[in-house]
Structure formats: C-alpha cells, structure tokens
Structure 1
C-alpha cells in the first residue's frame, strides 16, 4: 500500500481523487455555507425565512453596483460584496421564487439608463465624473416596483430589514390600512379664540401619503378586519366597549401605536364658566396593566440636560423649559428601526413609562431622558407662568426615564371575563406588538415643523424628526410579525476596540503635556515676533547684540519645544505600534514555531511508541 502511495501511479490517483472531489463539491455543495461571524452577518433570520417561504409569485431583483467605477474604493466594494452575498442567501432560501441579477452599470450604457429609470441614486465620484450606483430594484409579477436607491454604509446593521421589507412590499403591494382614533383635532378644527378654522396637522398629511387612513369613532366596539395598525392619539376617557375592542384587536395580532399623555398641551377644549380646569390627561390604564407596563400617573418628566429654550414673548429673553425636551441621538434607541436613523425629537410635558414587576412582555425603551431628570407633578403645568421655576426646582434622580417603549411578547386580556354582552373574546395571545408613547404634543406642528403657504399649497419645513418617528413606527408595525422580528444586525466592519482603548488612555496621559507645550510654543513665537517687528517698515531692522542673542535663544527654545512636541505625539501611537509588533510576531513567528514544536513532539512520541 505504501509503495502504491509513493509511486507515480499513486500520486496520479491522489490528484484525480482531489479533482473529482472538487468537481463533486462544486456541483452538489455549491449552496453550502458556514457562517462563523460572531453575529451571524451572512445568515438570514427566521423572520426573513418565513417571509420568503410565503412568497406565492416570483420576484425579480436587480442589484446595481458600479464595480468597475469603484475599483479604488475598497470599503464600498467590501460592503457591496456583503449585500450581494445576502441577496444570494435570499435567492437560495426562496426556492426559485427570486430571480437575482447582478448588474455593473457602465457609464453611458443601457444598464445605467435602466438604473436611472428605476430611480436609483447615482453618486458622482468627482465633479463631472462618472456616477456610482449601489442600489436594488425589485419587480413583482404584476409589474409593481420597489427600490432601495442607495445602500448607505452607515445603515448596514439594517440591511436585512430593508431587504426583507422590499420583498414583502412586492409580495403584498397594497397600501396598509391605518385605523385612527383621536381625541385631538388632528384633521383640523375651529379655533374659538381666532374664530377661524384650523388646518389638519402636518403629520397626518405625511401619513396619508404612505397609508390608507380609516377614521374610527370613540365609541367603536369592533376594530375593522382590514385595519393592520391602530393609531391612538390622546385616547381620553374611552368607554369600556372601545377599550375592549382595542384589547381584542391587539390579542388577535393587530399592531398598535398609542400616544398617551399626562398633560396634553394640544388639548384645548374650553370648559364652561365656573367649571374646574379640564383634565388634559389620557391613558390606557387597564390595557397597559394587562400588557405589563404603566404610565406613571399625574407625573410629567423634567430634564435639565435636554431642556429646550423657549421664548417668553416679543422682546423678552428665552428661557430653558425643563419639561419641553429636545432629545438628541443618544436619547434614541439605535437598535430599533423606528428611531435608529433619527437625529433629534422634541416632546412637551411628556409622561413616564415603566415596566410592571413580573410582566411577561418585553419592555424596550425607544426614547429616554438623560440622567439629569426627575418627575414633576402634572397639576402645576396648568398654572405655570415662568418655566425657569422648573430648572431651579430640578433635583436629578440619576435615573433615565422612558418616554416611549416597544412592548412585545405573551399577554393576557385586560377583560378575561369579557364585558356585558360579549363574553366569547380572546383571553390571551402568544405575542403582541405595541409601541406606546407618553406624549401627544410631539405630533403637533409647533413641535417639529414650519409650514409655509405657497400659492395655496402647504409646504412643510421640518426642524425635528417627530413625523419621521411616527411614520417609521407605523411602517414597521404595518409589516408582518415576521418582518417586525427582523431587527438590526451587527455591523460588517468591526471597530478595533483594544486599539481604541489604548488610544484613549494615551490621549489622557499625553494630551495635557501636549497642550502645555503648545502654549509654550505659542508664547515663544509671540515673543520672537515682537523682537523682530520694526516700527518703521521702510527701514531695515537693526538689533543690538543683546537682542540678537535673545533671538537666537528663542529660536533654540522653539526648536527644542517642537522636538518635545513631536516626541509627545509619537508617544500617542507608541502603545498601538507595540501592539502591532506583538501581533505580527505572534502571527509570523510564534504560531508557526508552536506548530513546529507540536509536530516535533508528535514525531518523537510516535518514535518512542514504535521503539
């Protein structure tokens, strides 16, 4: 046998066996993949698999990437490769229902015209240069199209969600129906003080462009079947039959976006003379309790860090309002599709949401305060004259409070025994999908947009992302449970966390010394310039021997300081370079040495066994 292995015929047989194995694997194992990335970046989720399994008709996907044009952009090429690999994974999982084409649209070609016709976004690499495309166009059997104009690198963690959303939109192209039940004049009303009608809220105009709207009455006892998302805005004092209808809608799989409020400044209903001030609060207390959360009663959130500056009137200075908050990016959940791409939101006299102890549902905060926050009594805002009082009274608790949250998971009915005349309802659900927001004022025009009238057309100019948040939430909830389950994934490009930590430590150690040297250098240069300055520019500058000696001294000091400064800046990267040398040694020398020693040890052990 050994002779055969070492003979020419044996080597030929080994080579043929190797070629046969490669041929067999290329034909029969071409779809096999092993994803060893920590966050399974190349493995589609169970939600996506469900969406693909439910495809009834074929879908065409055209992936446009300017591969030739982007030859000098390695980061973009790597990301495009990831998109392509993910699309091929979709194609394999769809079992023939997805037809994928990879297109490199050369400049001035028919493929480039096709990309432009689809509405894909071409990015010019330079002034007057070629256009670079990195987008996707999809078409279903009916000819409906959906596109992703450009795959932005900073949104790569939502790649799978965007692809699954496009596929599902092509599989079910009809616009989702949003049922709207509101206690505020969101569709316009009449201003009693100005004695003129008020226009619809701009947020509703934005929503109507993307969804079918079905208005619901406050005493409704059954949410229509065609409603896929229920939008509640200031559900104030709803009758039991309506609460039960909402309860049953959520339990049977309907999605809910609810805006409640402990003190809605948009609630301007006038009371009768002699009556007490109207109650401006709204809640879904029995439903929230059944779903494992609550809005803290009669409390308004104050925050010293995110407090907005508000005008006290013409000619008066602006003051900070601790209950009117401008929430920056770090106050928004960066892992949720409804908030991740937003920059800032504004809220006014918002409430506080918190999970109940022992709840089976999952409570995920979407909007949060800073640590410099505390609850205020809601009653005082009815008579508040000077918002500066709130800042003076603010005593931060050190806790971050939730203003909005996503609730999901198993839930019980708030009415397990039903209500009068209706005893046969659902008692529980394995999974519910609800987004609750403890503020209604964020939807009003004054909190996020300036509206200009242009020849009778209302043109919005948003300055905050409030409407985008509402639309994102509705868009996410209007998808299937499978799509909602496709959350953000890990990033393809991973940061060098150890290197970044070393860099931060080095900066802490050396930045103070660098600043001191910079100050000394600036002072030396200033003194040197003063000595070399002439009062009469027409005359040559004449220096005494003492002044010349001082100039030479300052020049030497300047060279010395610059040398020290270069040394400090070198030290900033010294630890990183040392780490790099250690890694190179480990990869180039240490690992091969260990393998060699291991092989030698195995060889010696076998020799001893044979002897």
Structure 2
C-alpha cells in the first residue's frame, strides 16, 4: 500500500481524488457556510429571516457591480464581495421566494441601460468619463422597481438593514400611514402675531412626500388600525381617553414618535383664563412611567460645548446661547439608523430623559449633551434677558444628558383598571417601539431650514439635519418589528491599530519639529530683511560680513533641522518595518517551526510507545 501511495500512479490517484472531492463539494455542499468573523458579518439576523419568511410573491433582485472597472479599488472590491455574499445568504434563506441576478454592466450595453432604468447612480471614476455601478434594484412581477442607488462605503454597518428594508418594501409596497396628533400648527394655521395665515411647516412637507398622513384630533379615543406610526407633537392637556388610546396603540404593536418639551420656544398659545402666561410644557408622565422613562420636570439642558451663536440683531455681534444647541456627530448615536450619518441637529431649550430604576424596558440614548452641560430650571429661560447670562452661570456637571431616546422591550399599561367604559384593554406587551424626543422646536423651520419662494414654489435650503432625523425615525418605525430589530452590524474592514498608533506618534513629533522649523525660518527671514534694508531702493543691497555670517548660520540651522525631520520619518518607517518583520517571522518561520517540532514530538512519542 505504501509503495502505491509513493508511486506516480498513486500520486495521480490522490490528485484526481482531490479534484473530484472539490467538484462534489462545490455542487453538493455549496449551501454549507461557516462564519468565523468576529461580528458574524456573513450571518443574517433573526429579524431578516422573519422579513424573508413574510414574502408572499417572488422578489427579483438585481445586483449591479462593475467588476472590471473596480480592479484598482481594493476596498470597494472587498465590500462588493461582502454585499454579494450577503445577498446570496438572503437567496438561500428565502427558499425560492427571492431570485438574485448579478449583473456587470459594460459601457454602452443593455445592462447599463437597465441599471439607469432602475434608478441606479453611476459613480464617475476619472475625467475620461469612465463610470462604475455598485447598487441594487428589485421588483415584484411587473411592479414598480425600487433601488439602493449606490452602496456607500461609510454606511457599511447598515448593510443588512438596507437590504432587509428594500426586500420588505418590495414585498409590501403600500406607503405607511403616519397618524399626526399635534399641539402645534404643523399643517399651518393662523399666526396671532402677524394676523396672517401660516404655511405648513417644511418638515410636514418632507414627511408628506414619503408617507400617507392621517390627521388626528386632540380628543380622539382610538387610534385607527391603518396607522402604523403615531407622530405625537407637544401633547398638552390631552384628555384621558386620548392617553388611553395612545397606551393601547403602543401595547398592540403600534409605533410612536413623541416630541415633548419642558419649554417650547415655538409655542405661542394664549393663556387660559386665570393664568398669567400660557404653559409651554408638554409631557406624558403616566405613559412614560409605564414605559420605564421620565422627562425631568421643568429642567432644560444648557451646554457650553454645543451652544449656538445667535444674532441679536442687525449691526450687533453674535451671542452664544447655552440653551440653543447645535449637536455634532459626537452627540448622535452613530449605531442607530435614525441618527447615523447625520452631521448636525439643532435644538432649543431641550429637556432631559432618564430611565426609571427597575424598568424592564431598554433605554437607548439617541441625542446626548457633552460633559460641559448643566440642567437649569425652565423658568430661568422665561426671565432671560441676555443669553450670555447662561454661559456665565454655567457650571458643568461632567455628565452627559439624554435629549432623545429609543424605548423598547416589555412594558405595562398605564391604566391597570382601564377607564370608564373601557375595562377590557391590553394590560402588557412583550415589546414596544417608542422614540421620545425632549424638544419640539427642532421641528420648526427656523431651527433647520431657510425657505425661499421661487415662482410660487417653496424651495427649502436646509442647514441642519432635523428633518432627516424625523424622516429616519419615522421610516425606521414604520417597518415591522423584525426590520426594526435589524440595526447596525460591524464593519468588514479592520484597521491596523498598532500601525496607526505608530504613525500618529511620529506625525505628532513631525508636526512639532516642523512648527519649530517654520518659526525659526520666519524669525531668520525677518532678521535678514531688516539687515538688507537700503536707503536707496535703486541700489541692490550688499551683504555685510555680519549678514553673511547670519545667512550661513541660517543655512546650517536649516540643514540640521531638515536632517532631524528625515530622522523622524526614518524612525516611523523603521518602527513599522520592524513590526512587519516580526509578523513575517511569526507567520513564515515560527508557525512552521512549531508544527515541525510538534510532528517530531508526535513521531518520537509513537516510536517510544511501539
């Protein structure tokens, strides 16, 4: 037997057996997968499996990827490979309900025309007109196609969410219905100050383009079944039957986006009889308590780091207002689809949300202050004369305060005994989906957009992402519970952290010495200029021995510092090269040596045993 294995015929048989095994494995074991990535990047989540299980009519997906045009873009090719593998996983899990087509659209081909017809965006590669397609389109039967125009590399962690959202929108193409219950004139009204009718808020115009709107009255006693998401804005003094209707809507699986406010700057309501001033506060204390969250009463966030600069009038300087906040990316939860990718959100006199002790629900902050923040009483804003007073009074607590949060998980009803005439309502739910924002002013036009009239058309020019945040939240909540559970996943690319640390260290050192060189250079040039000044501009200055000595000194200094800079750069490369040599030693030499030693020890042990 040994002679056969070491003979030419034996080696040929082994090679043929190896090829045969690979061919059989490719045909018979093609559906077998083992995902060894740290964050299970190639494994679809339970939420996606549920979305795929709910497909009723076959879905056709077309993955357009310009393979040849991206040959010089390794990062994009790696991401495209991951997208393709994920789509194939979708196709396998759908069990015949989803068909995947992989298309490489060549220039001036029918496939390129098809990509344009589906609404995909071509990425220009160079000035010569070369383009690349990297997107996904789908449709059901002869229905209207929907598409992801291009897969953005910076949105890689939301790949599964985007794919599942597209599949669900294809399987259920009806536009979601948003029920709007508002204590502010979102749809326009009558401005008491100008005595003129007011136009609808621009955020409502944006919402109306993507959703069906169902306006609800303040005294409503039941949320219609067709409403998938309830948009609740500044709920002031809602009657008990309306609160009960909201409670039951959330418990039966309805989604809620609620905007409350301890001090609504945009609220210009008239005071009730006997009141000195109209209340600008809105809250849902009973419902919030049942959901495991609370809005701190009469507390407003002031923040020295995120304070906005407001103009105090023509000809006056801008003043920083600590209660008017411009939140950067660092204040937004980049792992949540409603806030990821947004650049700036602007809020005014926002409140503070906190989870209740012992709550069973999950409290996930979406918008947070910086550590240079402090709560103040909302009455302080009503008496504020100069915004600079807030900055002077600010004493940071070192704590970050949540101004918006996602509430999910189990919850109880706020009406354990029901209400009069309605005692048989739901008592609890295993999972609710609620987003609470402790500010209503961010919805107003003045906080995020400039609207221009262009031949009778209102042209918005947004300067903040307030509307995008609202649309994202509604879009996320309007999906099924399965889709909402599919959030961000890990990134495929893994940075070389040790190498990056070496580079940052060397760059800091490089910048310090470069700054020193620039300072010395400027000082020396100034000294030379003063020495070379001549009373007669027509005569060229002649260098004195003192000037020549200074010039030589400058040149020597310049050469010396440049040598130091070269040494720093060399040290950077030397450290990285040393790290590379160590890794090569481990992978090329150490591992084979360890394997060899292990085999020899095993052979020696078996020989002694015999």
The bucket for the TM-score relative to the shorter chain is: over 0.9
| Alpha-carbon spacing, 1:35–1:528, altered in 2? closer, same or farther (3 Å) | farther
Q: Supply the distance in 1 between the matched residues of 2:318 and 2:538 (Cα, whole angstroms).
A: 54
Equivalent in the alignment of 1:457: 457
**Partners in 2 of 1:549 and 1:377 — Cα distance?**
69
Aligned positions of 1:286-325 closer than 5 A: 286-325=286-325
Q: Supply the distance in 1 between the matched residues of 2:524 and 2:385 (Cα, whole angstroms).
A: 55
**Which residue in the other structure is 1:416 paired with?**
416
Q: Post-superposition shift, 1:113? A: 1.3
Residues 388-397 or 575-584, more deviating: 575-584
Contact 1:531 / 1:551 at 8 angstroms: preserved in 2? no
Task: Name 1:379's counterpart in structure 2.
Answer: 379
* CA RMSD after TM alignment: 2.0
Greater alpha carbon shift after TM alignment, 127-136 vs 218-227: 127-136
After TM superposition, the structure 1 = structure 2 runs for residues 54-93 of structure 1, keeping only pairs within 5 Å, are: 54-93=54-93
2:210 partner SS: coil
Structure 2 distance, partners of 1:146, 1:575, is 50
Deviations 1:281-340 (CA, angstroms, capped at 9, x unpaired): 111111100101000011111111111111222332221111110011110000000000
Counterpart CA distance in 1 for 2:373 and 2:549 is: 62
- TM-superposed deviation, 1:352: 0.3
Equivalent pair of 1:287/1:414 in contact (CA under 8 Å):
yes
Q: Per-residue deviation at 1:233?
A: 0.2
Q: Deviations over 1:486-525 (max 9, x none)?
A: 1001111112222223334445566544533443344345
**Worse-superposed segment, 542-551 or 161-170:** 542-551
Q: Residue 244 of structure 2 aligns with which residue? A: 244
CA contact (8 A) 1:308 1:321 kept: yes
1:486 partnered with 2:486: yes
Q: Which runs of 5+ in 1 are unaligned?
A: none
Identify the residue that residue 157 of structure 2 maps to in structure 1: 157
| Segment of structure 1 superposing worse, 163-172 or 598-607 | 598-607
2:585 is aligned with 1:585: yes
Q: Which residue of 2 aligns with 1:184?
A: 184
Aligned to 2:571, what secondary structure does the other structure show?
Answer: helix
SS at match of 1:290: helix
TM-score by length of 2: 0.96
Q: Deviations over 1:168-219 (max 9, x none)?
A: 0000000000011001111111112211101111100110010000011111
Distance 1:257 1:86 in 2: 31
Residue 165 of structure 1 deviates from its aligned partner by 0.5
State the SS of the aligned residue for 1:431. strand
Alignment partner of 2:20: what SS? helix
Q: Verify the 8 A CA contact 1:179 1:216 in the aligned structure 2.
A: yes
Structure 2: how far apart are the matches of 1:506 and 1:69? 36
* Aligned equivalent of 1:52: 52
Question: How many angstroms apart in 1 are the aligned matches of 2:432 and 2:272?
Answer: 41
Distance 1:557 1:300 in 2: 57
Cα 1:466–1:529 change in 2 (3 A) is same
Structure 2, gaps ≥5 residues long = none
The one-character-per-residue Cα deviations of 1:331-390 (angstroms, maximum 9, x if unpaired) are: 000000000011000001110000001111110000000001111111222232211111
Partner of 1:597: 597
Question: Which is worse superposed, 595-604 or 462-471?
Answer: 595-604
The answer (yes or no) to whether the contact 2:265–2:280 under 8 Å persists in 1 is: yes
Aligned-partner Cα distance in 2 for 1:16–1:104:
34
1:528 and 1:554 in contact (8 A); partners too: no
Shift of 1:248: 0.7
> What is the CA-CA distance between 1:535 and the residue it aligns to?
7.2
| Shift, 1:262, TM fit | 0.5
Check conservation: 1:365, 1:405, Cα contact below 8 A: yes
**Residues 510, 565 of structure 2: 8 Å contact kept:** no
Q: CA deviation at 1:482?
A: 0.6
1:273 to partner: Cα distance: 7.8
Q: Please state if 1:429 is matched with 2:429.
A: yes
- TM-score for the superposition, normalised by structure 1: 0.95
Contact 1:521 1:561 in 2 (8 A): no
Partners in 1 of 2:63 and 2:187 — Cα distance?
41
- Can you list the C-alpha shifts for 1:519-539, whole angstroms capped at 9, x where unaligned? 334434555666678777866
Distance 1:553 1:439 in 2: 64
For 2:178 and 2:310, the matched residues in 1 are separated by 34
Structure 2 CA distance for aligned equivalents of residues 5 and 572 of structure 1? 53
How many Å separate the matches in 1 of 2:380 and 2:167? 51
Distance in 2, matches of 1:37 and 1:591, equals 22
Judging changes above 3 Å, is the alpha-carbon distance between structure 1 residues 77 and 450 closer, same or farther for their aligned structure 2 residues? same
Asked if structure 2 preserves the Cα contact closer than 8 Å seen for 1:525 and 1:558, the reply is no
What is the SS of the residue equivalent to 1:591?
helix
CA deviation vs aligned residue, 1:75-97 (integer Å, no higher than 9, x gap): 11111111111111111111111
Q: How does 1:349-360 map to 2 (within 5 A)?
A: 349-360=349-360
- Distance in 2 (alpha carbons) for counterparts of 1:109 and 1:450: 43
How far apart, CA to CA, are the structure 1 residues paired with 2:59 and 2:272? 61
Q: In the TM superposition, what whole-angstrom CA distance separates every residue of 1:546-571 from its partner, at most 9, and x where no partner exists? A: 54444333322221221122212333
SS at match of 1:346: strand
Corresponding residue number in structure 2 for 1:31: 31
Q: Which residue of 1 aligns with 2:17?
A: 17
Shift of 1:596: 1.9
SS, match of residue 598 in structure 1: helix
How many angstroms apart in 2 are the aligned matches of 1:241 and 1:132? 56
Pairs aligned (count):
610
Q: SS in structure 1 opposite 2:85?
A: helix
Matches within 5 A, 1:64-213: 64-213=64-213
Specify whether residues 558 and 8 from structure 1 end up closer, same or farther in structure 2 by C-alpha distance, changes over 3 A only. closer
Cα distance change on mapping 1:513 and 1:446 into 2, 3 Å: same
